[in-house]
Amino acid sequence: MCGAFVRPPVPFVRFLPTAPGVTASPSPTTIAAAAAAIAVAAWRSARRRRQSAERLAAATLESLLNAIDANDAETGAHVRRVADYALVLAEAAGLPSARRREVERVALFHDVGKIHEALFDLVHDDDGLSPQEREAIATHPKRGADVLAPLCAFYPELPDGVVAHHERWDGGGYPNGLRGIDIPLAARIVAIADTFDAVTHARRYRAGSDPERGARVIQEGSGRQFDPSLAALFLSPPVFAEIRRRMEASARAEARERTAPANPRPRTRGRVSRGERRARQRETPVPNVSFRWRPAVAARR
């Protein structure tokens, strides 16, 4: 018959009559207490809503990283190595924990734009790319930032860092031609880690170079492609020794994964055409991805 009783936001205030027909007014203390109770209740409610939204945003990032793994295991492995190296450099630079987490997020999602359908085949094509195809691939920072833009309220640094990770210290990068310290710090750190991994890690069409070759590339780009102070820090003996150790640990882990029997992929020699790759993707079941948010060494800290 009647709706459920709804508890009022603050307790009832009972007033005792002082004389027949006369009701006492609430005291200033009572009014202040009631106002404080309303304010506390509103604050707690807003905090719960905010915490719920933050958990949803974090889960969205985890799901997106799992999607990268499932759609493109090679890119998934690459961004984790880049995040590992970037965290070493960020810690050496003395960044506080919150800033290091920002660097980590930018590193993990810097290539999310490459899994766009318009770019996927180009990125994984073993043939040489035409100038038009190279221009298309150069859109991946902007595409990635667009993917991450809905999470800007929770991770404001993420789209800005992702869109800027191919900017250059001398202003010759893309997509916006930023120069020097106008480039977000996280993007400057990720640019060094990304280039080092690109040089040292093997690709389908070439073998990876040794760490010394990667160090020379960073040194040659210092002051032109890379922030010179960060490049010098990356190449300093203690930091570079840790980078080398992380690189070797990653290589061992990937070697173990290649020998694991679960979800074997058919291997063929020679180049694979785009049509064959698409057919193989339709036939191969989606792997059972185990999400790993942080590198094992960093997670223990």
What pLDDT does 32 receive?
A: 76
What pLDDT does 109 receive?
A: 93
Structural domain of residue 133, as residue ranges?
49-255+294-299
Instruction: Give phi and psi for 222, each to the nearest 5.
Output: -65, 130
Q: What average pLDDT does this structure show over 235-248?
A: 96
pLDDT for residue 267 is more than 60: no
Q: What average pLDDT does this structure show over 131-138?
A: 84
Give the residues across from 19 on adjacent strands: 22
Query: Does residue 265 form part of some domain?
Result: no
Q: Mean pLDDT highest for which of 86-90, 117-121, 278-282? A: 86-90
136-185 pLDDT, tens digit per residue, is 888 899 999 998 998 888 899 999 999 999 999 999 999 999 999 999 99
pLDDT for residue 270 is more than 90: no
Please state, in angstroms and rounded to a whole number, the distance separating the CA atoms of residues 118 and 300: 38
Query: Does residue 23 form part of some domain?
Result: no
Contact (Cβ atoms closer than 8 angstroms) between residue 200 and residue 247: yes
Mean pLDDT, all residues of the chain:
79
What pLDDT does 4 receive?
A: 47
52-89 pLDDT, tens digit per residue, is 666 777 777 887 888 777 777 888 899 999 999 999 99
Query: Does residue 42 form part of some domain?
Result: no
% of the chain with per-residue pLDDT over 70:
69
Could you tell me where the beta strands, DSSP code E, fall in 4-94?
A: none
User: Which one has a higher pLDDT value, 147 or 5?
Assistant: 147
Catalytic sites, residue numbers? 114
Please state, in angstroms and rounded to a whole number, the distance separating the CA atoms of residues 94 and 193: 17
Please state, in angstroms and rounded to a whole number, the distance separating the CA atoms of residues 120 and 71: 10
What pLDDT does 15 receive?
A: 45
Query: Does residue 100 form part of some domain?
Result: yes
What pLDDT does 13 receive?
A: 46
Say what angle helices 73-92 and 237-259 make with each other, to 10 degrees.
160
Q: Mean pLDDT highest for which of 25-29, 133-137, 192-196, 249-253? A: 192-196
Query: Does residue 38 form part of some domain?
Result: no
Contact (Cβ atoms closer than 8 angstroms) between residue 120 and residue 136: no
User: Which one has a higher pLDDT value, 264 or 209?
Assistant: 209
Contact (Cβ atoms closer than 8 angstroms) between residue 235 and residue 219: yes
Which of 74-78, 79-83, 195-199, 283-287 shows the lowest mean pLDDT across its residues?
283-287
Query: Which CATH number covers residue 115?
Result: 1.10.3210.10
User: Which one has a higher pLDDT value, 118 or 90?
Assistant: 90
Query: Does residue 12 form part of some domain?
Result: no
Q: What average pLDDT does this structure show over 202-225?
A: 88
Q: Mean pLDDT highest for which of 60-74, 203-217, 241-255, 269-283? A: 241-255
Query: Does residue 19 form part of some domain?
Result: no
Instruction: Count how many domains the chain has.
Output: 1
Query: Does residue 62 form part of some domain?
Result: yes
Instruction: Give phi and psi for 105, each to the nearest 5.
Output: -65, -45
